[in-house]
Amino acid sequence: MTKIGVLALQGAVAEHIRGIEKAGAEGVVVKRTEQLADLDGIILPGGESTTIGKLMRTYGFIDALKEFSAAGKPIFGTCAGLIVIAKEITGQPAHLELMDITVARNAFGRQRESFETDLPIKGIDENVRAVFIRAPLIEKVGPGVDVLATYDGQIVAAQQGHLLAASFHPELTDDFRLHSYFLDMVKQRQA
């Protein structure tokens, strides 16, 4: 069975595991870099990107995830996870510098400005329910990046090869089609 990890340093880990399993793969809670060797793909969940970045440095995940990506294994960053995989973060140093995007943290405002909406996403038939909580925004994409979704004219989901990023939290709804989309990316790589 396909194994998808969820980096368990902070964030909605159990909810992503549930999404992975509903999509038809085995979900693995990842707390040690050695676990990456057994995975077919990994999700970097939401949380607080600065904290996640510090914990990734403390536990050796920066180099380990760069190697994981260099091997072509798919990575899906949601909310803070999107920030962590970005090549550039407006106004601060980047973490993994994998995906050719520039992001702005908390672009949609504070916690009280959080909202839900139905989003059309390229490659998914019907609109997906998207939960935005202190969400980042993709300000700029490089030439190899495919924009998958926009909200109010702003980029909120994108893909670059084996890298997938969403500003919102797909794990906080009962709609697991974005997890299925990621699982399809993993299966295409395996084929």
Q: Is 126 designated active site? A: no
Boundaries of every domain in the chain: 3-190
Determine which of 9-18, 111-120, 144-153 has the lowest per-residue pLDDT on average. 111-120
- The pLDDT, as a whole number, for residue 163 is 98
State how far the Cα of 128 lies from the Cα of 72, in Å rounded to an integer: 27
CA distance 44 to 129: 19
Within 10 Å of residue 91's Cβ, how many Cβ atoms? 7
Work out the pLDDT band at 134, boundaries 50, 70, 90.
Answer: confident
Query: Between residues 105 and 107, which one has the greater pLDDT?
Result: 105
Q: Which residues contact 21 (CB under 8 A, 6 or more apart)?
A: 27
Q: pLDDT class for 47, splitting at 50, 70, 90?
A: confident
Question: Does 169 qualify as catalytic in the annotation?
Answer: yes
Please give the Cα distance from 141 to 126 (Å, whole number).
25
Q: Decide: 158 and 141 in contact? Cβ < 8 Å.
A: yes
Instruction: Determine the Cα–Cα distance for residues 147 and 121; give it in Å rounded to an integer.
Output: 9
Alpha-carbon gap, residue 74 to 184, rounded angstroms: 10
Q: Exactly one of 16, 162, 169, 179 is catalytic; which is it?
A: 169
For position 135, what pLDDT does the model report? 83
Mean pLDDT score, 104-123: 78
* Structure confidence by residue, pLDDT tens digits, 85-95: 999 999 999 99
What is the pLDDT averaged over residues 114-123?
A: 92
Say yes or no to pLDDT of 109 above 70: no
Share of the chain above pLDDT 90, in %: 83
Give the separation between CA 46 and CA 118, rounded to whole angstroms: 19
Amino acid 16 reads H
pTM score, two decimals? 0.95
- State residue 3's pLDDT score: 97
CB 26 within 8 A of CB 3: yes
Catalytic residue among 16, 95, 162, 171: 171
Quick one: which of 2, 6, 162, 164 has its CA closest to 73?
A: 162
> Is the pLDDT at 133 greater than 90, yes or no?
no
In this predicted structure, what is the pLDDT of residue 24? Answer: 96
Place of tokens 């550039």: 88
Stretch 136-145: mean pLDDT:
95
Superfamily classification of domain 3-190: Class I glutamine amidotransferase (GATase) domain (3.40.50.880)
Alpha helices for the chain (secondary structure H) = 13-23, 49-58, 61-70, 80-85, 177-190
Mean per-residue pLDDT, 142-168: 96
Q: pLDDT band at residue 110, thresholds of 50, 70 and 90?
A: low
Concerning whether 79 is annotated as a catalytic residue, the answer is yes
Catalytic, out of 16, 79, 95, 162 = 79
**What mean pLDDT is reported for the chain?**
93
Average pLDDT over residues 142-147: 96
Q: What is the pLDDT of residue 95?
A: 94
